[in-house]
A and B are shown apart, each in its own frame.
Chain A
Amino acid sequence: MKNKFFHLLIHIFLVILGVVTLVPFAYILMISFGKSIVGTQATIPKEFTLNNYIRLFQETSFLDWMTNSLIIATVTMVLSVVFVSVSVYVFSRLKFIGKDKLFNFILLIQIFPLTLSMVSIFKIFVNFGLLNDLKGLILVNATIASAGLVLLAKGYFDTIPYQLDEAAMMDGASRFQILYYILLPLAKPMIAIVSIQSFVIAYNEYVIASTIMTEGLDSMPLAVGLQSMISGQFGTNWSLYCAAAILGSIPMIILFYALQKQFIGGLTEGGVKI
């Protein structure tokens, strides 16, 4: 009886939070279907139309932007997973000189808000010939994502008992084999999180992209394209923007949905215990 009551409480909490989360989203969705909306007051449109979505494809380079962003985000995601898996192994499993310092170093350099030193970033991109090139954005996003997520992944990896490594080593497994066959499968939730987060970082990165990608409307990533829709000198068409925002977030929702099972559902029936 008590248990049932408790479950009810949980559900009430979840529903309330769900509503709080959904309300702003619902307004965005409604505005995206709204006809001739002025301003961003969260209002319910009087008339609904599909026109905004059609215009998005006809009048803007939305498809190009989305393609660019998908390329950037996907490659960034793969690179980040590789970087993070390797570095987290190093930090969590190897004893080496300068370990703490290196770890602190990676944490410390991230304090500096990169977005504020665009002059320097621009210089780097020029020197490496990466201007107006998706490759450059991929590299910088992969760096940002990896640097941030190593910290997260280490916390996770440290909770996987070292005895597992030792046992495997006894059986003659190489370091790579241990990482690949034992640790990474156990760290699937972590890898899923790293994938999603690196994807989101790369997909939404705006400041660097807008400085580096100076030429060609079609070669912009989505975040820059979206921003250009609201900073034009003419009245912002918020309906159009909302439509783009909704469509633009679909890849991330799909990715999340696909990876969700990695961090739920009986994964830890094995020997992992804290």
Chain B
Amino acid sequence: MSKKIFIILIAMIAAFCSMTTVRAESSTTIKVWFSQYKSENEALEQIAENYRIETGINVEVISRINIFNAANDLVNNSQLEDRPDIVFMQAPDIGGLIKSNVITNVNDYLDIEELSTRYSSIALDAFKYNGEIYGVGYSIDSYGLIYNKDLISEDELPTTWDEFFETAQALTVVDNDGVVETYGTLLNSKDIWFNYPIIKTYGGYYYGQFSNGDYNAYDIGLNNQGMNDYIEMMKGLMDSNLILTNKIHTESEIVSRFSNGKVAMILYGLWYSSMFKERGINYGIASLPDASTEEVSKALTTVQGFVINNYSLQKESAADFLAYVLADENQQLLIEAGNEFDEKLGTRNPANISVINSVYIQSDTILQSLSSLNDECEAFPNIPEGPIWYNYTPQVLQTIFFGENSGDEVNTQEKLDELVAKIAEDVQLINFQAERIDMPDNIFLYLGLLVIAIFILMFTRKKIQLKKKNIHSKKRLFKSTILAWLLMLPLLILLTIFYLYPIVHNFYLSLTDYSGINMLDYGVIGLANYKNIFVAGLDGLVKMVIWTLCFAICVVTLSFVVGSLLAVFLDSIHFRIAKIYRIIYILPWVIPTVITLLMWQGLLETEFGLVNQFLSIFGISNIPWLENAQWARISTILVMTWFSFPYFMIVSSGMIKLISKDLYDAAKMDGANFARQFIHITLPLIFRAMIPTLIMSFIMQFNQFGVYILTAGGPSSDQIGAPGATDLLITYVFNTAFNTKRYAVAAAYSVIIFVFVGIFALTAMKVNKKRMEV
């Protein structure tokens, strides 16, 4: 029997070792990180093969899971032996990379002037930073005026924004009961991405621009008169059926109504075009209405293109291959593959002018009109401060348009001023550079040694106390100690590598200036990050700690009780039926949480959610499950309990098997009913055996990120940047730190939380041990 196990183990180890993939390593191979689309990757591989035949240089094309990770992964991989040379990424991501010296400017390697004659100007502008070009665009991801041809013909399309609103109002059809049959348009008042062209028309803007086209993060135009005018105008339209009336609805609601044929015009991209097609919507895309006959309105655009790794060992060869890829005929191959050839999906909108003029694009009305919008684009700011607005504008605009949570209206100007002040503050934070402290080179080694020393000290203290005992038992203890530590060694090594090292390293990071503009070359700045946290951030956190503790304790207790109760119930009924129940009950545990959380979000919807519809049978009217702060808290606790009760059910099922029947028999003799047996025998016994697990679950709930998918931390607070009602400590502090890309501050937060929860857990263990001993 034990032989069999032994053989299995050996086989496992052998299989494990053979799984190593052998990588061909050659310094002359250019490595390109490319796309998530199979045909597009194949097209680039074909191009690479042609290139190899012409030049003899090998190119390796690597498919990637998605373009959003490109910047982060490049930072991680930029200096590895096996590093990518060319990376396909989004232009808005380049700011931090440039500041951290991760990508190189391509002025010296590519003929920019020649490229600018063959490419739409936005393809290069989007990658322009400090007057230098850092990459070349390949596909332009923009939006325009998407319209339903059955509701509005091409000739009727508005040319100015004033006309746009007039036409939209004229097209809106309301039936006798006040139900809207057709919307002229639908806008999301909380959005400023798709509404940006309108905002600009009124004179509001996000970041101002220097004369060379660079964005100036210190010039924020979201509280000027123009912005005020825009808000006044939108407020005037709130009752006109042109604006989403439910404050939690977003673009997806607009798209969904458009794809049902209910909306004539929307400001959107072609991201859902296949859905429109499937649903038989006869749609078209046209250029945005303009501010006036002289002033063209431009859509905020993300350009996807190629950059070169600054640490590439062969920048020149890489650039040479890049130039080859950028040749007209190769662009044609790529774009056709990217749009799935004859399917012409619209997934890739060419930046190359020759491709735009090709039959492939021109013969398709959608692709053709999409590419004709290229001149009406404004690149999304590629500075590191770019994404800041996103964190605050929806919340601020919600309070402006829908009032505070109490229902009170707010003063627009005050709120906008507050918004701009907050953005400006974050801009400061992003650019704040603390003074570095000179450290010996091997600081890390010392730190490691220190930690090891602490551990040795911790474990040897007991040895000294034991000296009093007699020699015989001491010898036995010594023997079993060696055996125990030997047996634990493999796991301990793994724990050191995968847990202890990250903790120590994280502590080190918390002492540095590691940030979004300093991703590679960070240095030690001492305790500045901790100082920042304690000076600036702690006042609001106490409330959050209380809520987080409350949340974690509630979820663990509830799921433990429900789980054990279920285990007992299932034990008492026929085992075949119990089997079926168990399979059902483990579903929350095994289905990807993302999708189940989204389902719950839908089910808990106030107006149409199934839960409220069901409750209305009993005369309970609309409960704002996710919209009201208190209800949202209850919802998150219940939903998270729903996720974790199966685990406790299974664990308890195993545990109750060990409880002696005698105990129950004795209890029955005493006349204890089922409930009493459960409370006085089952629960305490299971509880005692499960204390470490319960503490672990508590920790896991404390570090719970799932809540965020359900409520996004909301309902949001009236105060900008303050935690929402269901924001947990960890999601909130990390959001605030990551919004400003201060990764070192995030590291410092995690150290603080670690210490806090650690003390909590240790105390719990100690209390428990004392209780067990008594």
Chain A residues contacting B394 (CB-CB under 8 Å) are none
Cβ B16 vs Cβ A135 within 8 A: yes
Taking CB atoms and an 8 Å cut-off, the chain A residues in 221-274 that contact chain B are 223-228, 230-235, 237, 241-242, 245-246, 248-249, 252-253, 256-257, 260, 263-265, 267-268, 272-274
Cβ A253 vs Cβ B586 within 8 A: yes
B558 at interface, CB cutoff 8 A: no
Chain B residues contacting A122 (CB-CB under 8 Å) are 76
Distance between B5 CB and nearest chain A CB, rounded to angstroms: 8
Distance between B47 CB and nearest chain A CB, rounded to angstroms: 18
Cβ A231 vs Cβ B487 within 8 A: no
Distance between A122 CB and nearest chain B CB, rounded to angstroms: 5
Known: A96-B483, A156-B654. 6 other contacts (CB 8 A): A75-B16, A111-B757, A147-B491, A214-B76, A233-B302, A235-B272
Distance between B635 CB and nearest chain A CB, rounded to angstroms: 13
Chain A residues contacting B219 (CB-CB under 8 Å) are none
Cβ B585 vs Cβ A17 within 8 A: yes
Given the known inter-chain contacts A94-B483, A121-B498, A197-B647, please indicate yes or no for A155 contacting B63, CB distance below 8 A: no
Count of chain A residues near B, Cβ 8 A: 142
Cβ A245 vs Cβ B595 within 8 A: yes
Cβ B566 vs Cβ A17 within 8 A: yes
Chain B residues contacting A134 (CB-CB under 8 Å) are 19
Taking CB atoms and an 8 Å cut-off, the chain A residues in 44-97 that contact chain B are 71, 75, 78-79, 82-83, 86-87, 89-90, 94-97
Distance between A24 CB and nearest chain B CB, rounded to angstroms: 4
Question: When the two chains form the complex, which single residue of B275, B602, B608 contacts A38, counting CB atoms closer than 8 Å?
Answer: B275
Cβ A109 vs Cβ B590 within 8 A: no
From A199, which residue of chain B is reached at the shortest CB distance?
B590
Chain A residues contacting B212 (CB-CB under 8 Å) are none
Taking CB atoms and an 8 Å cut-off, the chain B residues in 609-650 that contact chain A are 609-610, 642, 647, 650
Question: When the two chains form the complex, which single residue of B19, B605, B699, B743 contacts A111, counting CB atoms closer than 8 Å?
Answer: B699
Cβ B480 vs Cβ A94 within 8 A: yes
Chain A residues contacting B743 (CB-CB under 8 Å) are 119
Given the known inter-chain contacts A97-B477, A123-B505, A193-B654, please indicate yes or no for A113 contacting B750, CB distance below 8 A: yes
Chain A residues contacting B20 (CB-CB under 8 Å) are 133, 135
Cβ A36 vs Cβ B271 within 8 A: no
Per-position contact with A for B583-613: 1 when CB-CB < 8 Å, else 0? 1111111111111101111110100111000
Taking CB atoms and an 8 Å cut-off, the chain B residues in 720-774 that contact chain A are 730, 734, 743, 746-747, 750, 754, 757-758, 761-762, 765, 769
Query: Of the 9-residue stretches B190-198, B412-420, B525-533, B686-694, which lies at the interface with chain A?
Result: B686-694
Could you list 17 examples of A-B contacts with CB < 8 Å? A7-B573, A36-B275, A86-B488, A97-B462, A97-B481, A116-B730, A116-B750, A121-B498, A126-B80, A146-B491, A152-B696, A210-B65, A214-B73, A226-B594, A237-B275, A245-B592, A264-B579
Question: When the two chains form the complex, which single residue of A40, A97, A142, A155 contacts B602, counting CB atoms closer than 8 Å?
Answer: A40
Complex Cα gap A228–B598 (Å): 16
Cβ B506 vs Cβ A120 within 8 A: yes
Distance between B307 CB and nearest chain A CB, rounded to angstroms: 16
B347 at interface, CB cutoff 8 A: yes
4 smallest A-B Cβ distances: which pairs? A189-B654, A42-B602, A151-B692, A235-B272
Cβ B255 vs Cβ A38 within 8 A: yes
Cβ A40 vs Cβ B12 within 8 A: no
Residues of B within 8 A of A (CB): 1-2, 5, 9, 12, 15-16, 19-21, 33, 36, 38, 41, 62-69, 72-73, 76-77, 80, 82, 141, 252-253, 255-256, 259, 271-272, 274-275, 278-279, 302, 347, 455, 458-459, 462-463, 466, 477-478, 480-481, 483-485, 487-488, 490-491, 494-495, 497-503, 505-506, 509, 514, 562, 566, 569-573, 575, 578-579, 581-596, 598-603, 605, 608-610, 642, 647, 650-651, 653-655, 657-660, 662-663, 674, 685, 688-693, 695-696, 699, 703, 705, 730, 734, 743, 746-747, 750, 754, 757-758, 761-762, 765, 769
Complex Cα gap A39–B257 (Å): 11
Complex Cα gap A39–B252 (Å): 6
Distance between A30 CB and nearest chain B CB, rounded to angstroms: 10
Cβ A274 vs Cβ B36 within 8 A: no
Cβ B647 vs Cβ A148 within 8 A: no
From A273, which residue of chain B is reached at the shortest CB distance?
B660
Cβ A38 vs Cβ B588 within 8 A: no
Chain B residues contacting A21 (CB-CB under 8 Å) are 584-585, 587-588, 642
Complex Cα gap A102–B462 (Å): 12
Per-position contact with B for A201-231: 1 when CB-CB < 8 Å, else 0? 0001000001101111110100111111011
Complex Cα gap A83–B489 (Å): 10
Cβ A117 vs Cβ B750 within 8 A: yes
Complex Cα gap A42–B625 (Å): 15
